[in-house]
Amino acid sequence: MKIRKLSLKNWKNFATVEVEIPDRLFLVGPNASGKSNFLDAFRFLRDLASSGGGLQEAVRRRRGVSAIRCLAARRESVIELGVEIEQSSGGKQSPEGKRWLYEVAFHQDKQGRPILQKERVLLDGQTLLDRPNVGDRSGMKCCSSFRKKKAPKSSQRLA
């Protein structure tokens, strides 16, 4: 598998950027130009998929949504990441290989908690996951937008 494209919107110092990623990529630039922030987008995606990770943990590791969001993002506060991955066919990269696309978008609520706005997975243009969905809206939260329910008071517990 090879990452072929990374798209960022309101990610740290990047208002909007889309980068095609060749087989070999060198990041060169002066201090404070965004090299580490660009690489952190890959770490963020890893944290989303890691065991014990998810959106809440990935954001917490970066000290909250407001620390991630681009300072230039005054009107549009949603942070978006997209990654395109090429899956090899028979151990070789080829035009017949499968293309995966993962997109995630989130913002924060008034308490500063990350709120999932969009999460999509496509395989060769076919949607495999599209969230939030009806289950999410009806209170069935999963993975990256999980919210704990309060435990019942002792007077409400069953004997």
CA dist 51 and 57 (Å) reads 10
pLDDT of residue 88: 79
In this model, does residue 54 exceed pLDDT 50?
yes
Predicted TM-score (pTM) of the model is: 0.78
CATH classification code of 2-156: 3.40.50
Neighbours of 24 (CB within 10 A): 5
For the cut 60, the answer to whether the pLDDT of residue 15 exceeds it is: yes
